[in-house]
Amino acid sequence: MCRHVRGILLFCLIACATPAALASSAGRDGAIWVEAEGFGTIAGGADSDSARRNALAEALIAAGLSGGVKMSGYTAIDKAAVTADLAILRASAEIVEHRVIAAERSHDTWRVKVRARVAPRPLGACPARRRLDILAYAPEFVVAPTAPAWSVPLAQDIWTDLQTTLEAHPRARLTRVTDRPYSAQLSSARAGFDYDTLTRGAVPRGGGEHALLTRIEVQPLPRRELALSISMTLRDARRDEASVTITRRVRQPMRGDLGAAIGPRRASMVQDLTQGIDAAAAGLLDRMACRAPAARLEIAGEALIVPLGSANGITRSSLGFVEGNDRFGVLEIVRLDRERTVLRPLDRSRPLGAFAERDVTFLETGG
């Protein structure tokens, strides 16, 4: 049975085996059909199902690699252009359909063969959208001393309206709003022993939360113009981020024109300055919701957990990929709840401690 798989070319970044693959010529849409094999070994306490999933993952990796993306060290290159790296994890193409055409076990080894169609990812394509948990840090207000007296209340009202936009967005959940500024992030456990956190009151972000960083600036310009600039950044656990900046300008009334400064003219200026802010914030949320779920791993007993679940776009067929100093790790899902996922390494020989407080990115395999 064919299944739709999005963003699978991200797997090429963690390929550690070299299974064989054969590719056909490209169609009009640039897509090619690929046959690829992968292998999974039952070792180190791994069960048969895990080894089979590992073989499927390797086969899809091989399919992606043979579809036009090549690996060079820790960087993925497509037609001489860098399309992905460890810090960003971007995909330039996707496996739009695949089916398993052979799967057999010989002693302690699974061999899985797939036939897949690999196509360039359309510009602006978005996988199934996920929910974002957001921690809103205190905004940075920058209001020039020579700005109108109503500039400070205006900046504060904009911040209040942005919180309302976040709460109303279908793909966002405003988990916390703090009056503390954003600072270098530590895990919740380590923050309890960190001097700066204890003395300055920094607010650590949860493993699955996105930090919202906001800067609102009001500055007078020559020729009686007034400029409002709003910058918003969403940053996830891997420090991957999306940003938007809006700048608006209006002409201020002449000095001494008190009626124009406090009457309908002022209301008109405020409306012109704030036009489009809500739409820009919603667009920022939409962009971030298109990215693969990512969170920081924690050890709980004999398993690894993340504070993300099905509500955040993770499915039972997702695999977790963890960047290491010298190797990558692949995690499978043991239990999936709405807001929590329990995982374990596909390679049972690797201790859980090797993954503690590392960032994991979830990708859909359809397997």
Q: Residue 34: enclosing H or E segment and its boundaries?
A: strand 32-41
> How far is 202 from 15, CA to CA, in rounded Å?
38
Is the pTM for the entire model greater than 0.75? no
| 164-204: pLDDT as tens digits | 999 999 889 999 999 998 876 554 555 454 455 545 556 66
CB 324 within 8 A of CB 359: no
CB count, 10 Å around CB of 72? 8
- Residue 212 sits at φ, ψ, to 5 deg, of -100, 120
Q: What is the share, in percent, of the chain residues with pLDDT greater than 90?
A: 27
Of 243, 249, 212, the C-alpha closest to 229 is 249
> How far is 329 from 14, CA to CA, in rounded Å?
8
| 272-292: pLDDT as tens digits | 999 999 999 999 999 888 888
> How far is 224 from 254, CA to CA, in rounded Å?
8
**Integer angstrom CA distances of residue 17 from 224, 333, 361:** 65, 22, 20
User: What is the mean predicted confidence (pLDDT) over 55-76?
Assistant: 57
User: What is the mean predicted confidence (pLDDT) over 138-144?
Assistant: 96
